[in-house]
A = this chain, B = another copy of it.
Amino acid sequence: MPHSVKVAPAYPVADGQAHCPIHHVLSYIGNKWAILILRELFQGNRRTNEFLAALPGISTKTLTARLRELERWGLVTRTVFPEVPPRVEYSLTAKGREIQPIMVALSQVGQHWLVHGSPRSAP
């Protein structure tokens, strides 16, 4: 953690596992909405309202907070168009696209669990 300021509220990088790769990625995308936000961006650029429509349950407050984090970490780009009405577009950076293997793995396991009985439907 190069900065002393708290930039990752989700996963406090503690003690002996700061070097664990899995823990390291989770400190970026392990919070409640990050992966779903990135999932949207893998399908194309998105505006704020489009996120809100695609992610039922998220609040504008949390959405902007997560997008600001992802932007600060270099995973997402925020573009403001000085128009009326105002328009803001978010897109993936090259760094952000690097998590594609994770999205693929998540999608494959999810597909498998949707087709076969999901664990939750087991007795």
* Interface of A toward B, CB cutoff 8 Å: 1-3, 7-8, 10-12, 14-17, 19-28, 30, 32, 35-36, 39, 54-57, 72-75, 95, 98-99, 101-114, 118-122
Contact = CB atoms under 8 A, between A and B. Distances in A.
A104 B106 CA distance: 11
A114 B107 CA distance: 24
Contacts of A119: 28, 73-75, 95
A106 to B, nearest CB: 5
A55 B17 CA distance: 8
Given A28-B119, A119-B75, A110 B54 contact: no
Contact of A56 (B15, B36, B74): B15
A115 to B, nearest CB: 10
B22 A39 contact: yes
